[in-house]
Structure 1
Amino acid sequence: MKVELFIPCFVDQLFPETAFNTVKLLEKAGCTVTYNAAQTCCGQPAFNAGFWDEAKEIGRKFLNDYSEDGVIVSPSASCTGMVRNYYSDLFTNTALHNKCRAVQGNIYELSDFLVNILQVDYFGAELEGRAVYHDSCAGLRECKIKAEPRQLLSKVHGLELFDLPDNETCCGFGGTFAVKFEAISSAMAQQKVDNAIAMEADYIISTDASCLMHLQSYIDKQQLPIKTIHLADVLAGGWGNV
């Protein structure tokens, strides 16, 4: 299957290894991956901040960067959810109406694509330790992803996976929320991390680098004995660097 890769701007700038690991996973699953180097952002930051005209301009570029009938895969439930759910607010009854609908129906978050479309859940990955999985708000509510990441992680050699008591609670990032309401955001991160440590977890795993970035910032500031890691990086572990 031919796949067009969408790498969110913050993954491109801050977590490039996650992008490379996404390519490795898709290729190992039998896909031919193409990447349009002209791609930038989906427009979510501007949209969530209320700058819809600016978000529409960025979204128009996004739609034009991808083919109308191509399958698009992204290692981000947040950005996938933005395109699937909120582009309708920007492009319904516009010249890009039909292109928008086509792209919305063809974009997938990585775990959703691997499990439900390719029906592949084993990569020979290895990761020793205990981990909890964090359901990002976008993954759970916008992309309806819950079982898929857990199914993939259950096949990772050496990994013990546990559910957090508050695994459906927001980590506190929320994009601009973390900036506008820093104290509340930090307290929510603390609760999430404290619960993970109480379960003696070595890792917090998620499909969203933005959530993991937020939690890792709190972990680093408090110098806590736990680490965040993206699902793609886990699945590429043990073989992806060979």
Structure 2
Amino acid sequence: MRVALFVTCVNDALFPSTGVATVKLLERLGVTVDFPAAQTCCGQPHFNTGHRSAAEKLVHHTARAFAGYEYVVTPSGSCAAMVREQYPRWGEDSLPARTHELTEFLVDVLKVTDVGAYFPHTVTYHPSCHGLRSLGLGDRPHRLLRAVKGLVLRELPGADECCGFGGTFAVKNAAVSTAMGQDKVHSALTTRAEVLCAADNSCLMHLGGLIRRQDEPLRPLHIAEILSSTEQHPYGPEEPTR
């Protein structure tokens, strides 16, 4: 099977390890991964802030970049939701049907939950708003995490509550965004997990900043990096302990 990786601009610019982990994981499962070099931003920031003409240009550009691929896989619920929900507004009906968030691609298309991962740490999972409400990922991430050898999954209190990032919401409403993020971090800390996991690095960027400022012993990590892990741990030689 051949798929196109839609890495997203956030991952490309700030979290390239997530893109690398996604490719490593898919290739381990027998998938051939292409990276269309023409891909840029999907247009979500422009659309959300009212710059519709700029968003439209990016929508058509993205559709052209991924033309011809049966499957387009992205490690981002928010960007997958943008494509699926908003692209038909501009007549781009083909790409939404072919675009899959990583965990739903694994479970629904490849029909796997045990991806051969090994990650001996305690983990709690934060479902992003786009993954939870727009894509309806449901228990797919949990099923994948529970199948990881060595991993102990702890339920996150108030998991369905927003972390407060919301793209430009965090900029325009910084005080509210910070308060919401602090509530989410507090909930994660009550689980005494070592790792706070999510399927969106935008949420993890927001929460990770708060965690670092509070100097808490909690590591934000994208689910792709957990699922791609085998004998080598993503922490390197210095693993956090509790």
In the superposition, the TM-score normalised over structure 1's length comes to: 0.93
Alignment match, 2:210: 218
Alignment match, 2:61: 61
Note if 1:19 corresponds to 2:19. Answer: yes
Selected match of 2:167 from 167, 171, 175: 175
1:82/1:240 CA distance change after superposition, 3 Å: farther
Letter in 2 for 1:125: A
Alignment match, 1:40: 40
Post-superposition offset of 1:128: 2.1
Structure 2 gap segments, 5+ residues each: 234-242
1:124, 1:239 within 8 Å by CA — same for their partners in 2?
Answer: no
Letter in 1 for 2:28: K
Secondary structure of 1:127's counterpart equals coil
Structure 1 gap segments, 5+ residues each: 92-96
Task: Encode CA deviations 1:109-155: one digit per residue, 9 max, x unaligned.
Answer: 00000011101222222222221110100001111102111111001
Runs of 4+ aligned residues of structure 1 deviating over 6 Å after TM superposition are: none
Post-superposition offset of 1:225: 1.0
1:29, 1:120 within 8 Å by CA — same for their partners in 2?
Answer: no
Alignment match, 2:198: 206
Secondary structure of 1:168's counterpart equals coil
Letter in 2 for 1:167: A
Alignment match, 2:182: 190
2:8, 2:79 within 8 Å by CA — same for their partners in 1?
Answer: yes
Task: Encode CA deviations 1:34-71: one digit per residue, 9 max, x unaligned.
Answer: 11112111000000001111110111110110114521
- Counting aligned pairs with the same residue, the percent is 42
Post-superposition offset of 1:88: 2.2
* Cα distance in structure 2, aligned partners of 1:81 and 1:239: 33
Secondary structure of 2:151's counterpart equals strand
Note if 1:151 corresponds to 2:143. Answer: yes
2:3, 2:69 within 8 Å by CA — same for their partners in 1?
Answer: no
Alignment match, 1:8: 8
Note if 1:232 corresponds to 2:227. Answer: no
Letter in 1 for 2:169: F
Post-superposition offset of 1:239: 4.3
Letter in 2 for 1:79: C
1:124, 1:156 within 8 Å by CA — same for their partners in 2?
Answer: yes
Alignment coverage as a number of residue pairs: 234
Alignment match, 1:94: none
Higher strand share: 1
Post-superposition offset of 1:208: 0.3
Alignment match, 2:121: 129
1:76, 1:110 within 8 Å by CA — same for their partners in 2?
Answer: yes
1:5, 1:72 within 8 Å by CA — same for their partners in 2?
Answer: yes
Secondary structure of 1:3's counterpart equals strand
1:122, 1:152 within 8 Å by CA — same for their partners in 2?
Answer: yes
Letter in 2 for 1:191: D
In the superposition, the TM-score normalised over structure 2's length comes to: 0.93
Note if 1:87 corresponds to 2:79. Answer: no
1:128, 1:159 within 8 Å by CA — same for their partners in 2?
Answer: yes
Secondary structure of 1:38's counterpart equals coil
